[in-house]
Amino acid sequence: MFTYNFKYELKSLLRSKWLLLLSLTLLIVVLFAGYNGKEKVEKRVSGLERVTSEVKEKDNAMLKILDSFEKGIKTNQNPRTLPSAPMNVAYGYPRVAAIPAKALTFIATGQSDLFTHFVKPSVYGDSFSMDYTELANPVQLLFGTFDLAFVIIYILPLIIIAFSYNIFSEEKEYGSLKLLASQPISIYQWLLQKTALRFFWLTLITLVVIVITLLFFGFEFGSNFSSFIQLISLVVAYILFWFAVVLLVNILVNNSAKNAVSLLAIWVFVILIIPAVVGQMANVFYPIPSRTKMISEVRELKEELSKKQDKILDNFLRDHPEYATKNGTKNYSFWHKYTASQDLIEEELKPLIDSYETQLQKQQEWVKLWQYSSPAIIMQQSFNNLAHTSTAHYQEYRSQVAVFSKEWRNFFKPLLYSNKDFTTSMYKELPSFKYEAPKSNSVILKVVILLVFSLIFLSIGRQIFNKKIGKGSVIV
């Protein structure tokens, strides 16, 4: 029976041009989504390369000036901006702290349209931990980004619905189901095989199109084979879930027009309503403190502390006697007062920043907890993790930059208070930033959850089918 079904379904699909139409549609849509994502990644990479090149050129010029200064050769450099002064280097020659793009970054935009990908933490200005600026176009945030994740999560289920919404009801409406029922075969096995064959062809077409897209945009399978396997595992499990839903609706409703409406309603519920409710409930239960209020409090605190810089410096030197001069005759500059006040500002602002971070962390934990309520959330979270564009990745990046910013300031602080010059030999000792991605959860659990969903729907469909067979309502 399986061989007959395979040949019949293949001939039927070829005659109706469904396979050709599906292949062309998926190829065009996926290639366009890949191109859109790759273009964003290339723009990001080129911007980082440009900034890194500028920093290297500036460093080379600085080293030439330092070398001339140490050899006693006069230069045209303004004495006030000489790199021999440690704070001039700390302020004027910052390092680039970047979160690099990965091989699969182009498949999911994730949070990359909300956060910057590189910064240059300086000794002067706000700490990066206080920076909550969203670098994004609000119109783009409203409509989202057309990437591969969007195609798989949103569009592919619609294609599955269009491909198979009448897989069973069509036979009943054409009258061929009565003929099948008169044969010594299991109607459920026949229906299951028919659904499995369509699942096979659509999955094969989808995977081939994805592989073509990855090859077209230079994906290296050898060094990223694990990520590739995780990607296709998620896609196959997601396609299986939607075919299980289609099969259940075909058995339960068994009317082509009603099948289509029911499946579209399920698509809206699973893809749009559940994720929206989960996100909204996160905001209700764990509201993030007002950003406007936080900025206002930061400004008020800075203004208050700026009036007390002399007293702050005295307290700082009392706590750090190694930075104070023995005879107390040293004239302290703006930088001495500023660096002393920065630690106090960060200490005073820590409760406010922590309240923001805590609420944000609780929101993320809430989404993680309820992600299994919708396959769409599971897929989006998984794609973001594979692309390294998840909220967790950018939060970790921001935390690491905040630590590096303090490390950069602390490197120059002893030179400032001991009145030492910055030399060429110290250049190699400058702190450098290297982003370390957080450990991502394996997709195995998420694939298993999707498979469990599919098995549940298949089991429910089997039970409903057996009850209808007993009543004779399946065929009539």
pLDDT per residue as tens digits for the range 172-198: 776 666 666 656 667 788 888 889 989
In which region does residue 147 sit, left (phi positive, over 0), alpha (psi from -120 to 50) or beta (all else)? beta
Helix axes 187-216, 18-70, angle to 10 degrees: 30
91-105: buried (b, 16+ CB within 10 Å) or exposed (e) per residue? bebbbbbbbebbbbb
CA 147 to chain centre: 12
Q: Residue 136's pLDDT band (boundaries 50, 70, 90)?
A: very low
CA 313 to chain centre: 43
φ/ψ of residue 276, rounded to 5: -65, -40
Q: Specify the pairing of strand 118-119 against strand 97-98.
A: antiparallel
119: three-class secondary structure by DSSP: strand
Calpha distance 61→54 (Å, rounded) = 11
Question: Could you give the count of Cα atoms lying within 13 Å of 372 in the half-sphere of its Cβ?
Answer: 12
**CB neighbour list of residue 137: distance below 8 Å, 6 or more residues apart:** 113
Extract the tokens encoding 273: 């309503």
Extract the tokens encoding 411: 């490197």
> Where are any strands of DSSP class E within 215-352?
none
Extract the tokens encoding 256: 């082509």
**Across 45-49, 345-349, 465-469, which has the greatest mean pLDDT?**
45-49
Beta bridge mates, 306: none
* Helical segments of 224-308, H only: 225-252, 256-267, 274-285, 291-306
Calpha distance 464→475 (Å, rounded) = 14
Helix axes 225-252, 256-267, angle to 10 degrees: 140
Lowest mean pLDDT among 181-195, 214-228, 398-412, 462-476: 462-476
Q: Residue 466's pLDDT band (boundaries 50, 70, 90)?
A: confident
User: Looking at residue 440, what DSSP letter applies?
Assistant: P
* pLDDT computed for residue 133 by the predictor: 44
Q: Residue 379's pLDDT band (boundaries 50, 70, 90)?
A: very high
Q: Residue 291's pLDDT band (boundaries 50, 70, 90)?
A: low
Q: How many CB atoms lie within 10 A of CB 142?
A: 7
Do residues 99 and 117 lie in contact, with contact meaning Cβ atoms separated by under 8 Å? Answer: yes
CA end-to-end distance (rounded Å), the chain: 23
Percent of the chain with pLDDT over 70: 82
**CB neighbour list of residue 155: distance below 8 Å, 6 or more residues apart:** 29
Asked if pLDDT for residue 368 goes beyond 90, the answer is no
Calpha distance 181→172 (Å, rounded) = 11
Query: How far lies 431's CA from each of 50, 158, 412, in Å?
Result: 21, 51, 10
Asked if pLDDT for residue 330 goes beyond 60, the answer is no
Helix axes 225-252, 156-164, angle to 10 degrees: 40
pTM of the model: 0.85
